[in-house]
Structure 1
């Protein structure tokens, strides 16, 4: 077999390129380092969701940023992910799979390579956390179909997705047969799929879940896991270290309360901040950030790790996502016990940051407290926190920059193949533009990172996560922080 012959010799840059030649021809605004917010003079409309959040705060007091995110994104009253068109030019943002087919094709090659390295297990399942519109999974399956022996091992597709509307989009994108579709057993539900068969992709069974722990597959099936722009939307908690060295939680309160609003423009220090959080137009919002008067249970539990006290100074802000740690620990344990493999691709840094929480609406940054439910809410992923959560459960390799990963996996060779397949100069220009957007350090190539998760008993680092050389280990890591 072609892949096996490759691995008998030197594993080098051209290995993925050879595989990519067999494929059929066929910026993300989150990543900007300087969000800007428009100022609105009039008081915002109090939508049903905003009224619901306000009523909760009036009844129980200021809520955590995590609770606010959860309500704004997933509430059935009007949460953001209950909406239809949120991706693409007509939506609020564009993800890497929506930019070019090359992205999914390259990732499919990564799974084929490591399926070979792990001895060609006879049964595999694809698992994706946060599948968006289903574009990435569809591209990976189409590319994987070119490797017949590998594709024959795929038993089923498992998608972790809570949004009913996104489930329906994924159902259509994967070419699922309506005759085989089973929907949520709820008379008030508008046809949310829970199970179907993808006729367009080899009659593969497709199943949907709300949570990772709900996935039920045969013990002899090896999971091939993908989490692309999944962790950035998981709820975060925000804290500030006071002059007394105590961590105070930053909460969300109604704008008309007598609590002193947090001035997010002056409290964050550049040493732990990637994005400058300037919330202009706060006078028009129905909500504001405030500092808890007393130590909250969240601050007591989450910030008890001594590392937070030793690494941060008075006045520093930090963002922490316990939900990300919980999911990562479970994912790592699952991959190790099932002898699987996984890739986590998201924007963020390999350290804890302070003020990256923001909204994205119509391809522009927006005040995250403005019009809850009308925009995506995200925060940079702390990859060091994910690695810590997976420790003793699985091996984590990376993160490495997306541009470096895609280049190492042969995206340039795939680009050349696509360019040669057409004489249309406009199509060729679009292909080059998409390639640059995915890989350029000034676009998505640097802020997006890739983390590989492998079983604990695997001895070699996965491609292209080679162990660093002595020179690299001894080279100081210098980051220019801009405000």
Structure 2
């Protein structure tokens, strides 16, 4: 591993600091709320409120979808969510080391696959383009590998984020093909990254719109903090032994605004100020079993593992994407990494809002904050079973250490201009790897073709129930 890092050129470090009856549900951290008439509503809040008043409470998944991607004012249509000036900081924004380590992982396994002659990078939810930019820059230090890269495919629906990614990847405006998105300005559809060796860059709304045809290209896929933003349904197991769905309803009027609780911190940042805001919606619980509960929780493991009063979150959208990803990787003999925060089991109440680096009430001012829920890696593996070979998850800290992040840190420390820069580098490294920061809660899952005998680094061989290797 150290030898691979010695083949990379030193570079000055970049420093950077998700028709039923219902009853009120009080146990889901629904704070007291200011009603819909207590302040002027944003267009999206009014849109969701009017929808509920017209047709009844909506699923949590529908609420998340509208809050994040609605053209009326969804959160990701703004495009400025990431970084110190935004609402949260992701691993690639913390340090270039993260993207460089991932690039080395793909180079290693490209060699183990027998050095296929044609490859493409694919990223789901590429944010500001920072991760792909770092991966391409690091990949160019391996000329034999980089010569196989035929393009980059970015799955991104946000028009504003597409524009940010276009600029971050150094695409030449004169060579960019734009397309109408229904808004005032066209958005990038295809370009050329002049700053990264002239690699062609393609944008897509959906994964299944990527058509490699008969090109023979091997897809190298990364989904970093992608699944945590996909909508979840919430359910509670009742005393009757049946699952009842948690829905979102309009909140009553007359209550006071609430302060957000908890903080999301990054190294060296000042404590954010408490956020105030009206809670426009509330959780309610269905009295009867909904079709969604009957369909999504039909697996017997839900009855076996949970008792009366337990909550679960299930993301059918995550299952749909994971099935597509697994089938695609197997069909094209590709490689994939899923990096996200979550656990290797089903959880019950992790939906949260994040605004200005602080946890916020997810039912307040939809569109003004990120909404996320912890990823259930066991669910991703379950739906991919028989379609692809999944390895892990392993903790992010363990993955990064095994892939040589310390060696890369030492290189950057030697090239740092002063002690302050060295300290920042070490702080960023610790935040990525420390189990009390991002090192434990973030996990890495590798996806290989079904039937593949390759055991990817640094994942241990899979074992059967009796402990035998397979």
SS of alignment partner, residue 407 of structure 2? helix
Q: In the alignment, is the contact (CA less than 8 A) between 1:37 and 1:365 conserved in 2?
A: no
Alpha-carbon distance in 1 for matches of 2:65, 2:201: 27
- Would you say 1:246 and 2:242 are equivalent positions? yes
SS of alignment partner, residue 456 of structure 2? coil
After TM superposition, give the deviation of residue 71 of structure 1 in Å. 0.3
Q: 1:24 aligns with which of 9, 13, 38?
A: 9
Q: Which residue of 2 aligns with 1:447?
A: 441
Q: In the alignment, is the contact (CA less than 8 A) between 1:183 and 1:194 conserved in 2?
A: yes
- Would you say 1:255 and 2:251 are equivalent positions? yes
- Would you say 1:437 and 2:431 are equivalent positions? yes
Alpha-carbon distance in 1 for matches of 2:369, 2:184: 24
Q: Which residue of 2 aligns with 1:291?
A: 285
After TM superposition, give the deviation of residue 283 of structure 1 in Å. 10
Q: In the alignment, is the contact (CA less than 8 A) between 2:73 and 2:367 conserved in 1?
A: yes
Alpha-carbon distance in 1 for matches of 2:338, 2:223: 5
Q: In the alignment, is the contact (CA less than 8 A) between 2:399 and 2:458 conserved in 1?
A: yes
Q: 1:235 aligns with which of 212, 216, 231?
A: 231
Q: Which residue of 2 aligns with 1:171?
A: 166
- Would you say 1:208 and 2:179 are equivalent positions? no
Question: Could you say if the C-alpha distance between residues 99 and 473 of structure 1 is closer, same or farther in structure 2, counting changes exceeding 3 Å?
Answer: farther
After TM superposition, give the deviation of residue 40 of structure 1 in Å. 7.8
Q: Which residue of 2 aligns with 1:276?
A: none
Alpha-carbon distance in 2 for matches of 1:340, 1:52: 42
Aligned residues: 431
Q: In the alignment, is the contact (CA less than 8 A) between 2:79 and 2:158 conserved in 1?
A: no
SS of alignment partner, residue 348 of structure 1? strand
Q: TM-score, normalised by structure 2?
A: 0.88
SS of alignment partner, residue 451 of structure 1? strand
Q: In the alignment, is the contact (CA less than 8 A) between 2:350 and 2:373 conserved in 1?
A: yes
Q: TM-score, normalised by structure 1?
A: 0.85
Unaligned runs of 5+ in 2: 19-27, 254-273
Question: Could you say if the C-alpha distance between residues 37 and 445 of structure 1 is closer, same or farther in structure 2, counting changes exceeding 3 Å?
Answer: farther
Farther-moved stretch of structure 1 (349-358 vs 292-301): 292-301
Alpha-carbon distance in 2 for matches of 1:362, 1:281: 8
Q: Which residue of 2 aligns with 1:132?
A: 127
Q: Which residue of 2 aligns with 1:73?
A: 68
- Would you say 1:311 and 2:296 are equivalent positions? no
Q: Which residue of 2 aligns with 1:86?
A: 81
After TM superposition, give the deviation of residue 21 of structure 1 in Å. 2.0
SS of alignment partner, residue 127 of structure 1? strand
- Would you say 1:417 and 2:411 are equivalent positions? yes
Q: Which residue of 1 aligns with 2:388?
A: 394
SS of alignment partner, residue 183 of structure 1? strand
Alpha-carbon distance in 2 for matches of 1:416, 1:285: 48
Question: Could you say if the C-alpha distance between residues 170 and 467 of structure 1 is closer, same or farther in structure 2, counting changes exceeding 3 Å?
Answer: same
Q: 1:325 aligns with which of 309, 319, 323?
A: 319
Q: In the alignment, is the contact (CA less than 8 A) between 1:41 and 1:281 conserved in 2?
A: no
SS of alignment partner, residue 399 of structure 1? strand
Provide Cα deviations, 1:349-388, integer angstroms capped at 9, x if missing partner: 0000000000000001001000100000000000000001
Alpha-carbon distance in 2 for matches of 1:139, 1:385: 30
- Would you say 1:222 and 2:218 are equivalent positions? yes
After TM superposition, give the deviation of residue 295 of structure 1 in Å. 1.6
SS of alignment partner, residue 452 of structure 1? strand
Provide Cα deviations, 1:300-351, integer angstroms capped at 9, x if missing partner: 1111111111110000000000110110011001001100000000000000
- Would you say 1:349 and 2:343 are equivalent positions? yes
Q: In the alignment, is the contact (CA less than 8 A) between 2:119 and 2:219 conserved in 1?
A: yes
After TM superposition, give the deviation of residue 244 of structure 1 in Å. 0.4
SS of alignment partner, residue 291 of structure 1? strand
Alpha-carbon distance in 2 for matches of 1:187, 1:41: 34
Alpha-carbon distance in 2 for matches of 1:60, 1:377: 23
SS of alignment partner, residue 342 of structure 1? strand
SS of alignment partner, residue 354 of structure 2? strand
